[in-house]
């Protein structure tokens, strides 16, 4: 995707350095940051400098390549084991992270006896993971675009655009392709509290692409659905289970329930790397609990041009901050993948891997 007429990926690797778009600064500032080693890369995932299932996965793959590049010959396997552990323990919910780490580890398994070959193999596999993410998201856009009719009003939640993946994104990819094909599309962007990734990131992306949109409070989604203003919902996913349940940003479940109540199709867009066949249902998905400060405070630019944090709650009040919720398969119309659109059922999920 383009930013100020220049093409960027969300994450890439130059030599042994991982480059990232600093997402907490968007939409106020566009900045590229460099992660010099796997520890810095792991911290970037944990601090959400990079976020979104596919982007976390690609970053984890690059971070794993850094681990292998850094590993000393006299302590090669132990260093790799510890590095993989550090990357796995950054964020618990998004399946793509674990997928990428395991892919790099699997690629170097036979080459461990030859550190030079292992280092080369790790870098190649990490790059392959990123490239496959781009190709999958483009294909998701091709399949999903067929669901969008000229003049549709679409609701989305959080950010499942190119910032959440390496490029194109999932939920926004069909919207981008529909717009480029000349379809008139309007997007209702849920703000997605507490980190406001809808109002900060999705709205910024849509603006860069020239897609008409408006930001609405999360609690306004039901109002617009009941008023007949929304024709279709497309959201992303951080993990999809073997039975079709979906973990995504907190608030997705509420949107799905209201959509079903009002007869509005509710689609989930995700590459097959987001599917965890070892996880049988949503009840088994670990839900990340983030710091209460994200609820109690907000960041933004003051009228004086200062980027600062302000408290939006009474002093002494406590907060809970689950980062994700689980939408049961029964509320999902279909799952848009790079292999096609399937039902959110055990049979539908299995069909993607046969």
Answer yes or no: is pLDDT of 89 > 90.
Answer: yes
Angle, nearest 10°, between helix axes 53-70 and 38-46? 160
- Cα 332 from Cα 253, distance rounded (Å): 10
Mean pLDDT, residues 289-310 taken together: 91
> The tokens of 286 are what?
């670990």
Which of 104, 120, 137 delimits the end of a domain? 137
- Give the chain's mean pLDDT: 96
Nearest to 10 by CA among 114, 159, 179: 159
- Give the pLDDT band (50/70/90) at residue 106: very high
Please tell me the pTM assigned to this model.
Answer: 0.95
Specify whether 238 is catalytic: yes
User: Of 312, 285, 282, 313, nearest to 298 (Cα)?
Assistant: 312
Q: According to the model, what pLDDT value does residue 318 have?
A: 97
CA end-to-end span of the chain, whole Å? 32
Summarised one tens digit per residue, pLDDT across range 122-155 is 999 999 999 999 999 999 999 999 999 999 999 9
Residue 241, judged by CB atoms within 10 A of its CB (0-12, 13-18, 19+), counts as buried
Query: What's residue 1's pLDDT?
Result: 78
- Residues 217 and 161: their CA atoms lie apart, in Å, by 19
pLDDT at 62 over 90: yes
Structure tokens at 73: 């010959």
Are 129 and 188 found together in one domain?
no
Kindly state whether residues 312 and 183 are assigned to the same domain: yes
| Tokens 């194109």 belong to residue | 168
Residues 6+ positions from 306 with CB-CB distance below 8 Å = none
Indicate if 115 and 172 belong to the same structural domain: no
- What CATH number is given to the structural domain containing 80? 1.20.120.420
Closest CA to 45 of 94, 105, 107: 94
pLDDT class of 49 with cuts at 50, 70, 90 = very high
Mean pLDDT of the region 296-322:
92
pLDDT of amino acid 113: 81
Check if the beta carbon of residue 170 is closer than 8 Å to that of residue 336: yes
How large is the C-alpha radius of gyration of the chain? 20
Same domain, 50 and 8: yes
Domain hosting residue 67, numbered range: 2-137
Residues 235 and 170 grouped into a single domain: yes
Residues 192 and 330 in one domain: yes
Q: Which tokens in the block code for residue 63?
A: 């971070």
- Residue 146 and residue 133 in one domain: no
Task: State pLDDT tens for residues 260-286.
Answer: 999 999 999 999 999 999 999 999 999
Same structural domain, 126 and 103? yes
Strands 153-156 and 186-190: parallel
Six token digits for residue 31: 């900045």
Q: What is the pLDDT of residue 108?
A: 95
Q: If you search the block for the tokens 């790799």, which residue do you land on? A: 80
β 246-249/239-241 pair status: antiparallel
User: Confidence class of residue 174 from pLDDT cuts 50, 70 and 90?
Assistant: very high
**b/e code 73-105 from CB counts within 10 Å (16+ = b):** eeebeebbeebbebbbebbbbbbbbbbbbebbb
What integer pLDDT is reported at residue 111 of this predicted model? Answer: 79
Cα dihedral 92→96→99→100 (10° resolution): -110
Same domain, 155 and 298: yes
Q: How many domains does the chain have?
A: 2
Q: Where among 111, 137, 163 does a domain terminate? A: 137
> Residue 156 corresponds to which tokens in the numbers above?
């989305």
Quick one: 146 and 99 in the same domain? no
At 299, the pLDDT band (50, 70, 90 cuts) reads confident
Q: Same domain, yes or no, for 170 and 302?
A: yes
Spell out the residues 6+ positions from residue 169 whose beta carbon is closer than 8 angstroms to its own. 52, 54, 137, 159, 160, 161, 162, 163, 176, 205, 236
Average pLDDT of 167-195? 97
pLDDT of residue 223: 98
* % of the chain exceeding 90 in pLDDT: 94
Residue 122, φ and ψ in degrees, nearest 5: -65, -45
Query: Is the model's pLDDT at 300 over the cut of 90?
Result: no
pLDDT (mean) for 102-120 = 92
User: Domain check: are 178 and 317 in the same one?
Assistant: yes
Last residue of a domain, one of 83, 103, 137: 137
What's the whole-number mean pLDDT along residues 95-116?
93
Is the per-residue pLDDT at 83 higher than 90?
A: yes
The two tokens of residue 223 are 């109002």
Question: Of the residues 218, 238, 245, 325, which is catalytic?
Answer: 238
According to the model, what pLDDT value does residue 21 have?
97
Cis check: omega of the bond before 27, within 30 degrees of 0: yes
Both tokens of 348, joined, read: 């539908």
Q: Is 27 exposed, middle or buried (0-12, 13-18, 19+ CB in 10 A)?
A: middle
Q: Is residue 302 scored above 90 in pLDDT? A: no
CATH number of the domain where residue 201 is located: 3.40.50.10470
Token pair, residue 284, equals: 């088994």
């Amino acid at each position: 995707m383009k930013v100020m007429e220049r093409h960027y990926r969300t994450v890439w690797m130059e030599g042994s350095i991982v480059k990232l778009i600093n997402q907490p600064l968007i939409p106020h500032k566009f900045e590229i940051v460099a992660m010099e080693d796997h520890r810095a890369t792991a911290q970037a995932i944990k601090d959400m400098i990079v976020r979104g299932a596919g982007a976390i996965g690609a970053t984890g793959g690059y971070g794993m390549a850094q681990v292998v590049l850094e590993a000393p010959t006299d302590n090669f396997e132990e260093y790799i084991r510890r590095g993989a552990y550090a990357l796995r323990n950054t964020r618990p919910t998004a399946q793509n992270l674990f997928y990428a780490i395991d892919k790099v580890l699997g690629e170097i398994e036979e080459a461990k006896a030859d550190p030079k070959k292992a280092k080369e193999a790790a870098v190649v596999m990490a790059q392959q993971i990123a490239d496959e993410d781009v190709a999958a998201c483009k294909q998701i856009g091709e399949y999903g675009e067929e669901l969008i009719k000229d003049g549709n009003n679409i609701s989305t939640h959080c950010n499942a655009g190119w910032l959440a993946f390496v490029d194109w994104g999932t939920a926004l990819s069909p919207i981008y392709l529909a717009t480029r094909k000349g379809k008139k599309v309007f997007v209702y962007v849920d703000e997605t509290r507490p980190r406001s990734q809808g109002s900060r990131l999705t709205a910024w992306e849509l603006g860069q692409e020239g897609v008409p949109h408006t930001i609405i409070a999360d609690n306004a989604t039901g109002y617009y659905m009941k008023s007949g203003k929304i024709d279709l919902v497309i959201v992303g996913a951080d993990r999809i289970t073997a039975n079709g349940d979906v973990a995504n940003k907190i608030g997705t479940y509420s949107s799905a329930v209201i959509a079903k109540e009002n007869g509005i199709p509710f689609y989930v867009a995700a590459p097959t790397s987001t599917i965890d066949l070892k996880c049988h249902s949503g009840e088994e998905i670990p839900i990340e609990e983030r710091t209460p400060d994200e609820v109690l405070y907000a960041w933004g630019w003051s009228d004086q041009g200062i980027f600062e944090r302000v408290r939006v709650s009474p002093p002494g009040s406590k907060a809970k901050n689950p980062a994700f919720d689980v939408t049961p398969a029964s509320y999902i119309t279909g799952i848009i993948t790079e292999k096609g659109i399937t039902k959110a059922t055990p049979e539908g999920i299995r069909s993607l891997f046969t």
